[in-house]
A and B are shown apart, each in its own frame.
Chain A
Amino acid sequence: MCLGIPGQVVDIVDPAQHKAIAEVEGVRREINVGLVLGDEGGLSVGDWVLIHVGFAMSVIDEEEAASTLDFMRGLGELFEDEVQQFRESTPL
């Protein structure tokens, strides 16, 4: 919960409701991106975000996403649990 998992935005399905699809380790799920939109919008497909409990909390660059993912894979169970929960929870 404390650690955000990096995911890539692969689709923005409902901009008004801040709904996007993110992919984490090959798993796709709906996330809420309302907290990382500036007042002028500005999140695009392909961007990387740190995801906490189904919400994108910050935008990171690709290099940072790759190295964070690498690190998190090394955490083993803690990361696998996160991905498992990400996978099993039904999108809204």
Chain B
Amino acid sequence: MKFVDEYRDPAAARFAVEQIKALSGGKHLKFMEVCGGHTHTIYKHGIERVLPSNIELIHGPGCPVCVIPMGRVDDGIAVAETPGVIFTSFGDMMRVPGSNGSLLDAKARGADFRMVYSPLDALRIAKENPDREVVFFAIGFETTAPSTAVTLQKARAAGIDNFSVFCNHVTIVPPLKAILESPDLRLDGFIGPGHVSTVIGNRPYRFVPAQYGKPLVTSGFEPLDILQGIVMLLRQIRDGRCEVENQYTRAVRDEGNLRALRIMSDVFEVRPYFEWRGMGFISQSGLKLNEAFAPWDAELRFSVPGVRVADPKACQCGEVLKGVIKPWECKVFGTACTPETPIGTCMVSSEGACAAYYNYGRYNRTATIPVKSA
């Protein structure tokens, strides 16, 4: 257990690992960590090597960059290449491949693409360039959607009409449902996302135990948090309980951030369906600007191809996102697809399972991690 020594409070971590061993009693159990931040921690800190081999962690779809389908990247690039446009996005989106290259490639072809840290930075660029159209490529789950909403409220209040948002915000509950409905995968419980839950709270997850009979424990991002989350899941299973529990009480309240939720509902409406990379169309899973904010909606302002583009044949991001295969089981992992030349989104984002595994996890894998599930 050499990794445990590097965790905060190694004694507590060691104790958690002992409890996991005792509680699971050698039974093969599969838990999905929903959030890409968890996936990153798991590989970076060697958690799979600390856990007994009967506990298998499945990496879920909670990586905002990973789930953006190719057609939406193409749409974004089409807007970026419209004359007069300044196109902005978070750095994570820059290298995501569309069918004709990434945003960085578009920049090399002459598009005015600028990386921003915050949607408010994009709004500032719009203020400073009143004769240009400034578009923000909005991505992310409920952690970043409120920020986009506030930015739009500010644009409206200040009457900044050369600013618009290409909205690709998604919500976490519908893909969870899709995974639970999927016949490919049998899970024994979920490690719920931490920071998404600071916004939405724990209540939206109640359907997981109620309708699907799986426990869910919202957990923090440190290795010890994840280990304690697993202990809480195992205790539920031992006690015959099945509920939503909160390991991350330091930041997550049951009701979430009501102010953020209110602002989101002021600006967004739910799309009837939205395409997810590799997972197809999921109903009620995406957000768009509502009627009141239509003037700031880049999809209404610009003509975009709006065409569904199939993922590259070799790419298995969909299976990785659904947890059906592990990153290294993808045919192109680490050969044709690397963080430098990604084919799929999971290799682009540092929160993607493939990139995290490529950077930290691939050494000594065969010796320590069970590859085949039972």
Interface residues, chain A, with chain B CB atoms under 8 Å away = 1-4, 32, 34-38, 50, 52-55, 57-58, 60-61, 64, 67-68, 70-71, 74-75, 77-78, 81, 85-86, 88-90, 92
Contact = CB atoms under 8 A, between A and B. Distances in A.
A63 B198 CA distance: 18
Contact of B8 (A70, A77, A78): A70
A21 to B, nearest CB: 14
A32 B348 CA distance: 28
Given A32-B120, A89-B118, 19 more contacts: A1-B90, A1-B140, A2-B36, A2-B351, A3-B195, A32-B147, A34-B259, A35-B257, A53-B118, A54-B118, A54-B120, A55-B146, A57-B199, A58-B198, A60-B251, A64-B251, A68-B222, A89-B116, A92-B124
Nearest to A52: B143
Interface residues of B, number: 42
18 contacts: A2-B35, A2-B63, A3-B37, A3-B40, A4-B143, A35-B150, A35-B263, A50-B251, A53-B119, A54-B117, A54-B147, A55-B150, A57-B195, A64-B250, A67-B222, A71-B8, A85-B91, A89-B118
A29 to B, nearest CB: 9
Contacts of B251: 50, 58, 60, 64
B254 interface: no
Contact of A36 (B8, B116, B257): B257
A86 B90 CA distance: 12
B188 interface: no
A57 B63 CA distance: 18
